[in-house]
């Protein structure tokens, strides 16, 4: 069995937690029948791939409910990585056409970018799709959506610093959001996207070549929120150069807004400490991998409450598995952030 948690876990789900999760699920249900999501796993962290309705028991108010169905439900993660390789980013250059840093500095930071990304991709499960995009001189796809580790590794090696043009951080975010809008255009209000979009941005607090427009930026932020995009923003701060105007916080403000609307993560790193990427990126990768595995090996459970039970769930609500050595996590919507 594929490890879901990577080791021995002892997780006890209290009845109060069950009531809260089921209550959230029941809000979207009609009559006494409702759905929720369950992730079973063994004591050693292995996935359970053959769970059946007869393995699951639901009780409420000392009465047995009816477990109507238990079906595998795969809601995978797809990862997009935006990398600022522009003159104000990876190399710590102050601006387009102005080389305020040494070639060695450019080389060192680029090596850290590549090694950090490779270590990130090595942490991911083989069935997790990856897209890699560079932001300079324009947002451009280096690795098209793929699960092929060879293509991903080759694409990572193609990340090179552009000493002539600034990266376009905000433009890259906007184009990413526009692609999501186009891909999910046909979804009804009740339907969810076929996958969970996860976005890692390795940006810079230095100069940016984006055309920041209020309406486009607001649409981008609304799209990230609408589709529940999970975000990780890493911002590198290049050395301050006296005769180069400050960025006035443009990219930093956008990155913080992305963090706020998505309830994401924001990390700030000095360009001189870019080696931190080699540990930070795989750390983030492990979190993404864990979420993907959980959402890939979960089940959608349909239950009918006992006769006469309506409204708020009682405190003695309980879910049990008849199989020994198997525990579980619950989710009202199939998401495990």
3-state secondary structure the chain: CCECCCCCCCCCCCHHHHHHHHHHHHCCCECCEEEEEEEEEECCCEECCCCCHHHEEEEECCEECEEEEEEEECCCEEEEEEECCCCCCCCCCCECCECCCCHHHHHHHHHHHHHHHHHHHHCCCCCCEEEEEECCCCCEEEEEEECCHHHHHHHHHCCCCCCCCCCCHHHHHHHHHHHHHHHCCCCCCCCCCCCEEEEEEEEECCCCCCCCCHHHHHHHHHHHHHCCCEEEEEEEECCCCCCCCCCCCHHHHHHHHHHHHHCCEEEEEEHHHHHHHHHHHHHHHHHHHHHHHHHHCEEEEEEECCCCCCCCCCCCCEEEECCCCEEEEEECCCCCC
Cα–Cα distance, 170 to 214 (Å, whole number)? 11
The pLDDT score that the predictor gives to residue 119 is 97
**What's the CATH number for 77-292?**
3.40.50.410
Per-residue pLDDT at 14: 44
Nearest-CA neighbor of 317 among 8, 4, 2, 15? 15
Confidence (pLDDT) at 12: 37
Q: Look at residue 89 in the predicted model and tell me its pLDDT.
A: 58
- Long-range (24+ apart) CB contacts under 8 A made by 140-143 are none
pLDDT value for 108? 59
Q: How is the chain split into domains, by residue range? A: 15-65+305-331, 77-292
pLDDT of residue 88: 66
Alpha-carbon gap, residue 107 to 297, rounded angstroms: 41
Dihedral angle, C-alpha 130, 251, 225, 334, nearest 10 °: 40
pLDDT in tens, the chain (337 residues): 455 554 433 333 444 455 556 666 655 444 688 899 999 999 888 999 999 999 999 998 889 999 999 999 999 999 999 999 887 654 443 444 444 344 445 455 788 889 999 999 999 999 999 999 999 999 999 999 999 999 999 999 999 888 788 889 999 999 999 999 999 999 988 889 999 999 999 988 888 888 888 999 999 999 999 999 999 999 988 765 444 444 445 889 999 999 999 999 999 998 788 899 999 999 999 999 999 999 999 999 999 999 888 777 777 788 889 988 999 999 999 998 8
């Amino acid at each position: 069995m594929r490890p879901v948690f990577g080791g021995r876990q002892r997780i006890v789900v209290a009845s109060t937690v069950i009531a809260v999760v089921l209550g959230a699920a029941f809000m979207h249900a009609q009559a006494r029948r409702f759905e929720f999501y369950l992730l079973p796993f063994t004591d050693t962290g292995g996935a359970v791939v053959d769970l059946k309705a007869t393995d699951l028991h639901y009780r409420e108010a000392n009465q047995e409910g009816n477990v109507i169905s238990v079906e595998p439900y795969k809601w995978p993660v797809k990862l997009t990585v935006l990398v600022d390789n522009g003159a104000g980013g990876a190399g710590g250059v102050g601006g387009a056409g102005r080389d305020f840093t040494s070639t060695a500095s450019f080389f060192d930071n680029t090596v850290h970018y590549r090694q950090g990304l490779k270590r990130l991709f090595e942490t991911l499960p083989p069935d997790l799709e990856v897209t890699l995009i560079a932001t300079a001189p324009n947002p451009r796809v280096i690795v098209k959506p793929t699960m092929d580790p060879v293509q991903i590794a080759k694409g990572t090696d193609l990340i090179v610093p552009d000493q002539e043009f600034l990266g376009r951080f905000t433009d890259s975010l906007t184009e990413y959001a526009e692609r999501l809008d186009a891909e999910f255009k046909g979804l009804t209000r009740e339907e969810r996207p076929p996958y969970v979009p996860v976005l890692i941005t390795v940006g810079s607090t230095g100069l940016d070549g984006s055309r920041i427009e209020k309406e486009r930026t607001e649409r981008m932020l609304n799209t990230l929120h609408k589709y529940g995009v999970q975000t990780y923003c890493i911002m590198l701060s290049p050395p301050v150069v006296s005769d180069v105007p400050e960025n006035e916080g443009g990219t930093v403000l956008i990155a913080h807004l992305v963090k706020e609307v998505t309830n994401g993560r924001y990390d700030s790193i000095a360009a001189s400490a870019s080696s931190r990427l080699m540990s930070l990126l795989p750390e983030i990768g492990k979190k993404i991998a864990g979420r993907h595995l959980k959402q890939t090996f979960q089940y959608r459970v349909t239950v009918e409450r006992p006769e006469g039970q309506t409204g708020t769930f009682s405190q003695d609500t309980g879910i049990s598995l008849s199989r020994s050595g198997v525990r579980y996590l619950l989710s009202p919507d199939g998401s495990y952030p």
